[in-house]
Amino acid sequence: MVNNPIPPDPATRPDRGIRVHTGYLIRRAFNMFLGEATEALRPLGLRTTTYATLRVICDNDAMRPSDIAAAVSMEGSNMVALVDGLVEAGLVERQRSETDRRAIVLEATEEGRALADRATIVLKAREDACLGHMSAEERQLLDDLLVKVLAGL
C-alpha cells in the first residue's frame, strides 16, 4: 500500500486549503487507488484499462467495441489498440454480430474469463487492504455516493 507522508492533522496539512474541494479529494483517492491497482495487476500482465475492458467483455455478451469504450470511458481509437492486444493474447475473440452481420462484437475466451476472475480477486483483496480502516457500512455508503456523483455528471 502507498505510504502517505502527509500529516494526518488537518490543520498542519500542506494541502489544507484545497481539501475543501470534493473533486480534489476524489482525485487524491483515485491516484492512490490507481497506483495500488497498477501494482496489483502487474504480476498478471494487465494494466487497469486492460482489466476494465476485459471485465466488461466478460460480463456482457457480444458487445461492440464502441459500446465497451463508452462503458469504460475510453476513446474509440484507444480501444482499437487495446482490443488488438487482447485478441493477440488470446483473451478475446472478434466475431460477427448475429443481429447485424456488418458489426463486429467481442467475446471473452475461457483464458480471458479466467484471467479476469483472478484479477478481480486480486483487486478486491487490494481494495480491502486499502479500505480496511472503514466499516462495511461506510464502504457501502462511499460506493453509493460515488455512484450518485457519477449519475449527476
9 lies in some domain: no
CATH of the domain at 125: 1.10.10.10
pLDDT digits (tens, 9 = 90+) for 46-78: 999 999 999 999 999 899 999 999 999 999 889
| Domain housing 71 | 15-152
Between CA 73 and CA 153 the distance in angstroms is 13
Q: How confident is the model at residue 4 (pLDDT cuts 50, 70, 90)?
A: low
100 lies in some domain: yes
Q: What is the pLDDT of residue 124?
A: 96
89 lies in some domain: yes
Torsions phi, psi for 92 (to 5 deg): -140, 150
Q: What is the pLDDT of residue 24?
A: 93
Position 131 pLDDT exceeds 60: yes
Between CA 58 and CA 75 the distance in angstroms is 20
8 lies in some domain: no
Instruction: Tell whether pTM > 0.75.
Output: yes
138 lies in some domain: yes
4 lies in some domain: no
1 lies in some domain: no
29 lies in some domain: yes
Domain count, the chain: 1
Per-residue CA distances from 22 to 6, 19, 29, 30 (Å): 18, 7, 11, 12
